[in-house]
Amino acid sequence: MRHIFWAGDSTVACNKFATFPQTGIGQALDRYTAADVVICNHAVNGRSTKSFIDESRLATIYDEITEGDYLFIQFGHNDEKINDPARYTDPHGDFITNLGKFVNVARNKMAYPVFITSVERRLFDENGSLKPSEHTEYVKGMKEAAEKFDVPMVDLFTMSRDFLEKTGDEASRKYYMNLAPGEASWAPEGKIDNSHLKYEGAMLYAGMIAKGLKKLGEPYSSLLADEAFLGNTLDIEFNG
């Protein structure tokens, strides 16, 4: 068996009944992977590169990951929390340094590191245009780290932002923990959540990651399910 270890935040993490219908991308990716691939999802809500390391979660991955495994590294949402010293990192400083620590864990155990940029938030202005992103500098930082450490990267940020721009405000609601037109309210006190995903969104963005892995070629593309099935599934997902 091959294993994908995933380090990240709530957009990736597995959810239980208490947070239904919220679904992390890591929960959906196994719909796209080959039969011999097991996903070990270590992502936890609210974590940044800093807090993930400080809480010894990266050390746990080091103890478990083995030769030939993969480490998917997806952070940014919580590294942005400038008012929280327990989580904040400078996008062109500590963020890059921390990403290097994840890379070292993978390579020291003869595993393959992969960077994945943050999924975009669904934030539109009053004119229906997608607002400038809060993730931009962290996406740039991850790209810098990818070059510095020679790590392959799947740019989920760009793919998800392009999707939101094309799909628009109303039609994109069904993918996020928000209300689609005519949908009954699930959220307490009408809470609006434009960051976290429902099952439809997790499947959509996991499909984008699958496309990114396919573009990377071997050994990453072999993680995916049968190519004919995968192509048909991704076409359905992207076309809504």
Cβ contact 92:141 at 8 Å: yes
Structure tokens at 153: 């990267």
Q: Which of 19, 44, 11 is nearest to 206 (CA)?
A: 11
153 strand-pairing partners:
115
Cβ contact 92:143 at 8 Å: no
Catalytic residue among 3, 42, 77, 196: 196
Structure tokens at 64: 């478990």
Q: Residue 134: what residue type?
A: E
Let me know if 133 is a catalytic residue.
no
The C-alpha R_g of the chain, in whole angstroms, comes to 17
Catalytic residue among 67, 126, 185, 189: 189
Catalytic residue among 10, 51, 118, 172: 10
Buried b (16+ CB within 10 A) or exposed e, 173-201: bbbbbbbeeeeeeeeeeeeebebbbbebb
Let me know if 196 is a catalytic residue.
yes
Let me know if 10 is a catalytic residue.
yes
- Name the residues annotated as catalytic: 10, 189, 196
